[in-house]
Chains A and B, each alone.
Chain A
Amino acid sequence: MGNFLVWVIWFLAAFGCLASGIAVVTFRNPFYSALALIGNLGSLAVLYLLASAEFLAAAQVLVYAGAVMVMFLFVIAYLGDTAEAPFAGGPSWVSISAVVAAAAILVEIVVVIGLTAGDALSDAAEIQASFGSPGEIGRVFLTDQLLAFEITSIVLLVAAVGGVVLGTRTRAEEEADGRT
């Protein structure tokens, strides 16, 4: 019975994240798209939990649905009315070829994974209770994957500096604003 409940929750989360993904792409107003992406990230966190990645599910909700999306919403509110009409004037050759290209990528992924992994996908490894816990992630991150940890810190530092550089007003902009 517990198994059945897991299936139900899994399908609800999978449907939720696919539907909200489509909503992100189709909504006209970026504000609603960002809200739909929060739903997408939340249902993905449920899928992470069911794949026994507890720490990543928590990090997903805290970092993504919390910090990153709040920043997104702030910028969208700062920019004001940025709604566009993506599907005005019927399907153009650009939109048709975009959908065809995405469908081609989908088929390629499915075929390649099906050919190479195939049957091996049905027997998952036995895991211990500590799998995916913060302690286990921290141990691997600070021992085996120490280089990745250091590179991540440098990437974050560069992004922070880049954000400051992009955000400061240049002198030319101030003069242009003073003239108008």
Chain B
Amino acid sequence: MDGPDIAWYLVVSALLFSIGTVGVLLRRSPLIVLLSLEIMLNAANLALIAFARLHGGTDGQVFALAVMAVAASEVVVGLGLIVAMARRRLPLDVDAFRVLRG
């Protein structure tokens, strides 16, 4: 194929995934944790698309499309939770939340 091999795509995907992991583990603002989760999901999407190209099947791309829909839903619910937290004047700090009770 033109351009880099699939292995190059997978290297970028793995690097992006670990960058997202650092963000989720390191940052305390729930907004940035959500953004880092998006990075991780997109890294997985890149791997799915790279493997779909490797095997020449469309199923991987369809799976990536489903992942996009799940990511959009996750953002809706996550942002709803963050707005609800802000309305109750709770601190926007993931370390401050230790119970699920509302």
Contacts and interface: CB of A to CB of B under 8 A. Distances in A.
Interface in B58-101: 58-59, 61-66, 68-77, 79-84, 86-88, 92-93
Contacts of B71: 64, 68
Given A24-B39, A121-B10, A98 B26 contact: yes
B4 A109 contact: no
A156 to B, nearest CB: 6
A37 B76 contact: no
Interface residues of A, number: 86
Contacts of A22: 19
Interface in A86-106: 86, 94-95, 97-99, 101-103, 105-106
A124 B8 contact: no
A156 B39 contact: no
B97 to A, nearest CB: 15
A56 B61 contact: yes
B56 A125 contact: yes
Contact of B59 (A68, A126, A145, A160): A145
Contacts of B46: 44, 47-48
Contacts of B45: 44, 56
Interface residues of B, number: 73
A125 to B, nearest CB: 3
A53 B62 CA distance: 10
Given A144-B59, A156-B72, A163-B76, A18 B12 contact: yes
A162 B74 CA distance: 10
Interface string A1-43: 0110011011000100110011011000010011001001100
A78 B92 CA distance: 13
A165 B76 CA distance: 11
Given A47-B46, A102-B18, A125-B53, 6 more contacts: A2-B2, A53-B61, A75-B31, A79-B83, A140-B62, A163-B77
Interface of B: 1-12, 14-23, 25-29, 31-32, 34-36, 38-39, 42, 45-46, 49-50, 52-56, 58-59, 61-66, 68-77, 79-84, 86-88, 92-93
User: Which 4 A-B pairs have CB atoms at the shortest separation, nearest pair first?
Assistant: A125-B56, A159-B73, A166-B80, A98-B25
